[in-house]
Amino acid sequence: MLSKRIVLHFPHRLVDQPIIYKLVKDFNLGFNILKASVTPQEEGLMVLELSGEDIDFNKGMKYLEDSGVRVQPLSEDIVRNSAKCTDCGMCVPICPANAFVIDPVSRKVIFEEDKCIACELCIKICPTHAMEINF
Amino acid sequence: MRTIAEINQKIKKGSVVVVTAEEIIDLVARKGAKKASQEVDVVTTGTFGPMCSSGAYFNIGHSKPKIKIGGGSCKLNDVPAYTGFAAVDIFLGATALPDDDPRNKVYPVEFKYGGGHVIQELLEGKDIRLEATSYGTDCYPRKKLETLIKLEDLNEAVLFNIRNCYQNYNVAVNLSEKMIYTYMGALKPQMGNANYCSAGQLSPLLKDPLYKTIGIGTRIFLGGGIGYVAWQGTQHNPMAPRKENQVPSSGAGTLAVIGDLKQMKAQWLRGTSMLGYGVSLTVGIGIPIPILSEEICAYAAVRDEEIYAQVVDYGSDYPQAVTRSLGEVNYAQLKSGKITVQGKEIPTGALSSYSRAKEIAEELKSWIKDGEFVLSEPVAGLPGAESGYKFKPLKERPIQ
């Protein structure tokens, strides 16, 4: 069983295709949409948690790529610029996924990327703009 | 016990004993205040948080031909500076915004750039666009000036913050039904989070609660350089309620501080944006407390558990100037990540960086140990707890 959080970029020619439907029907994958933004005439973007048997998962990923969807693992997308971060901790209670944790000894903020659901709340509230997005 | 002059002698000889405001806590717990006060000469404190009443003044030098910016207009990277001085003196406030900032028209606006960011960029050595206009006089004929400036070329560049270093602060929550965006950060509805802003047991005025050593003329760590306490800060409120340990349990004393911006560092003066609120400057300050008595040592050893703050509703009470506390919590509770208010467990967030406050206290400690920083005698005290000095609300009177 595999479960991964991934970012899908749909070129605009694919925006009207039932891609996610096929993932479910043909590859038996479960999905949870964490974020989606589809603008007509532009690229579509979807953040998914995708899960299924290993063999199905890999086939599904190949299908996505063959269809022209660009796939990125989620953790690469929301990054902390440590040169800008002051470790204040304002992001900690704002994050709905509890991805920010304060180290009890150093009092520095730890960003646990694997918990991030790319909701982007931290990006706007960070006082020094230390959270950056690379979709 | 010892005088500041004696401490300075020890600094020069390299025999001074300095500990941080964190380290003194353990020392006093182990040995008692009497023994600790005999051993330790100086306790260093630190704080690093957004402080809106900050700014800097500059003398930019005279152009050829000359211009009288005084009474005219002046912008630095589109951020307006105050010009009501002589020909080429200007003051830039930390919260100043470019004229074309959307200013919450598309609420909540991000407030990406303002006065605080200009100060940070000057410290980074960047070129800043200066655009000034004036009306022209016989002695200052020029009406328009557009030039790049940078910090090293200015005659004077002086950080002058009229209110910094608040002695304690509110813990902000939101009792309303919608998300709000405040200077205490974004506050989720129905007390979804509680934001606080103090370094607690490292914070300068919490470790000298009765201002027995910190006064006008005290030399301090300011923005990574050396500065001075210039005056009490605006809204200085020494009569605020205090606990038995003399530590105020809400916002109380404040400091006005000043120092040469050219020797400061961008790392310790950071342009800051508060979503839906505005821009500010996050300021790093460290103040040495000379241990002149056992009593001063005992005050400096106060712990997070013994410092209390009031939980205040920013959904309605604060904007409507209703004074009400929803409860009292201490900094150990706040730092644990959760507090309980009116039976509800609430996650906490900090605006003030404790880890940076600690770094400042450590840095100031090494400056003193290395003989790079000697203590100053205050030339006058700050209005104290018995002074009658108060922070009053505005009495509005109709204009006839």
CA distance B284 to chain A (A): 11
Interface touch B349/A94, C-beta < 8 Å: yes
Q: Which residues of B touch A86 (CB under 8 A)?
A: 48, 270, 282, 353, 356
User: Is A120 a residue whose pLDDT tops 90?
Assistant: no
Question: Which pLDDT band holds residue A76 (cuts at 50, 70, 90)?
Answer: low
pLDDT for res B400: 86
Question: Number of A:B CB contacts under 8 A?
Answer: 76
Full 3-state SS string of chain A? CEEEEEEEEECHHHCCCCHHHHHHHHHCCEEEEEEEEECCCCCEEEEEEEEECHHHHHHHHHHHHHHCCEEEEHHHCEEECCCCCCCCCCCCCCCCCCCEEECCCCCCEEECHHHCCCCCHHHHHCCCCCEEECC
Peptide bond before B98: cis, by omega within 30 degrees of 0? no
Pick the CATH number of A78-133 from 3.40.50.1220, 3.40.50.970, 3.30.70.20, 3.90.660.20: 3.30.70.20
CA distance linking residue B74 with residue B80, whole number of Å: 6
User: Is A109 a residue whose pLDDT tops 90?
Assistant: yes
Sorted by sequence, the CB contacts under 8 Å of residue B56 that are 6+ apart come out as: B91, B92, B119, B122, B157, B158, B159, B160, B261
Interface touch A106/B355, C-beta < 8 Å: yes
Q: Does B120 touch chain A (CB under 8 A)?
A: no
User: Is A75 a residue whose pLDDT tops 80?
Assistant: no
How many CB atoms within 10 Å of residue B328? 15
Report pTM.
Answer: 0.90
pLDDT for res B169: 98
Structure tokens at B355: 């880890």
Percent of chain A with pLDDT over 70: 97
What ranges do the domains of chain A cover?
Answer: 2-74, 78-133
B321-346: pLDDT as tens digits: 999 999 999 999 999 999 999 999 99
pLDDT for res B273: 98
What is the average per-residue pLDDT within A33-41? 79
Residues in chain B with pLDDT values less than 70: none
Interface touch B272/A102, C-beta < 8 Å: no
Residue B177's identity, in one-letter code, is E
Interface touch B273/A128, C-beta < 8 Å: yes
The lowest-confidence range among A29-43, A115-129, B199-213 is A29-43
Indicate the average pLDDT of chain B: 97
Q: Is A78-133 in the same CATH topology as A2-74?
A: yes
B5-40: pLDDT as tens digits: 999 999 999 999 999 999 999 999 999 999 999 999
DSSP reduced 3-state for B306 = helix
Residue closest to B238 by CA, chosen among B51, B380, B386: B386
- Under DSSP, the state recorded for B237 is -
Q: Answer for the pair B171, B195: CB distance below 8 angstroms, yes or no.
A: yes
CA distance linking residue A84 with residue A17, whole number of Å: 41
What CATH topology corresponds to A2-74?
Answer: Alpha-Beta Plaits (3.30.70)
Q: Answer for the pair B340, B348: CB distance below 8 angstroms, yes or no.
A: no
Q: How far is residue B213 CA from its own chain's centroid? A: 18
Burial class (CB in 10 A: 0-12, 13-18, 19+), B135: exposed
Pairing of strands B18-20, B42-44: parallel
What is the average per-residue pLDDT within A39-43? 73
